[in-house]
Amino acid sequence: MIIVLSCTSDFEEINKNPNQFTTASPEALLTGAFRTSLNEVGGEMNLWMFASYARYAGGLQGNELHQFGVAEVLTRGYWQNLYVDVITACDAVINIYEDNPDFNNRVQVAKAWKAYTYHVIFTTWGPAPLSNAIDINQLPDIIFDSEEKGYTQILSMLKEASDNMSAEGDSFVNGQDVIYGGDMNKWMKFINTMRLKIALRISTGFPSLAQQHINEALAKGEDMLILDNSDNAILSFENDPVNWNSFYNQEVIVQNDNHIPKVNHNFMLFLTTYGDPRIEVFAAESKKKVLITDMLQEGGGSTDTISVQYAVPYLGEPLGTNANRALPNWGLNENDNPLRDYEFDNYSGWGERFMAADADYTLISAAETYFILAELNATGYNTVESAQSYYNKGIEASFSRYNLQNELSGYLSQDGIAWGTSSQGKRNYNGIITSGISDDPLEKILTQRWIAMFFQGHDGYCLQKRTRKLAWSPFIEPADRIGVDYLDFPERMFILKVS
């Protein structure tokens, strides 16, 4: 037997697999990051946390999170997925392609998405690793940045991305962009609008930092903001088991009533009080309608009364179960609960477009941007138009999005809706809150923004957490809260171990 030994300086070249990808494309990395963001923020976190916290979903009694309690195993999973599958992918695009001018715009998109993701983390968990996150050289000492330090870096990322993008620069290859199809002008509007949105979101806690970025974002001009529905930033689920809507999965596949949302009673109250035509978009008619019996005078000079019965097409459900709707210390006894005998099918589910397998999830819409501008004007910022003008345009953009333009004038003419007017509204089922809207400009703007953002659970939650101005009934008898009778919402999540 003859054995031949040899050595070559070209060993690495000889042993390369010609069919193996050595560097992931920015398109592949960013698409994966977008998909994970959708599945987590718009899907699982929305289902188990945000839609309830924002009072878009009612019922939902499936786990501790739905009951405003703690489910650390779930929240740790969300945390890990956002870091590992989103931020790591964005960092890869930046690290691999930042020095190549042919990829400049896509690198700026990665920076912006990284900033957006960190903002979700900081608004959900509070202080978190950012400065030395995803850096193996820093192990095992991962530092949690304060919220101020975190938001300073987040807004700086968005500023850098905004300042360095060009509509004439590079784009996604073959339009491989699931949000804007490679339109860099739309991406520039998204980044500047997201910067404005996050800056306003932190304005109570860090006013100086917020003011700097609000003024700089406004200085870029309104043509660099999302002010038309064609520019809305939307991610869409897909009609396949891997990427379909979490809410669709619960309703059609799992079929567990405890996990299927109904329209929240609080939210529904504002729709029905003002005859909001968007109710047909946001809600489905109840499968088993509640029958209401009323006694009316016969008329024509007669004093006789007749019994009239009619069905209630839309009925919202409060959070939790009947056990969460009684608080004896407040005089709210279970026997006095008018909803105590109603069943799952008596309540209205979410509208079809939000429960579909391939539903759209909105990151920022024109309506939301108009309400942001309205709030900024109302709080003293220098804007092109008045708060009233932006307020009306925000409602118009929301109606237009759902092809309800013909219903706009009637809605806008009502007391409580019309600028400068107020209304008494109607009381909720336990009389704690009403759907009345005062003539306070901020209350009006924030109420309409909340309504327009239906399905954007994270945004609705953050809006109330910052302002505390929306008329929301508290969740009674929350889980895991010894000695706590009620809770507006969990202020933040937590994890016991970072890995």
Q: What is the pLDDT of residues 244-297, one digit of tens each?
A: 999 999 999 998 888 899 999 999 999 999 999 999 999 999 999 999 888 787
Q: What is the pTM (predicted TM-score) of this model?
A: 0.92
Q: What is the pLDDT of residues 68-108, one digit of tens each?
A: 877 888 899 999 999 999 999 999 999 999 999 999 999 99
- pLDDT value, residue 498: 52
Confidence of residue 10 (pLDDT cuts 50, 70, 90): very low
Taking the CA atoms of residue 482, residue 485, residue 489 and residue 491 in that order, the dihedral angle to the nearest 10 degrees is -50
Rounded CA-CA distance 451/368 in Å is: 10
Find the distance separating the first CA and the last CA of the chain, reported in whole Å. 54
Phi-psi region of 142 (alpha: psi -120 to 50; beta: other; left: phi over 0): beta
312 DSSP β-pair partners: 290
Confidence of residue 11 (pLDDT cuts 50, 70, 90): very low
Confidence of residue 5 (pLDDT cuts 50, 70, 90): very low
Confidence of residue 22 (pLDDT cuts 50, 70, 90): low
What is the per-residue DSSP string for 408-455? HHHHHTSTTTSTT------B-TTSS-B----S-HHHHHHHHHHHHTTT
- The DSSP letter of residue 102 is G
Q: What is the pLDDT of residues 358-372, one digit of tens each?
A: 999 999 999 999 999
- pLDDT value, residue 327: 75
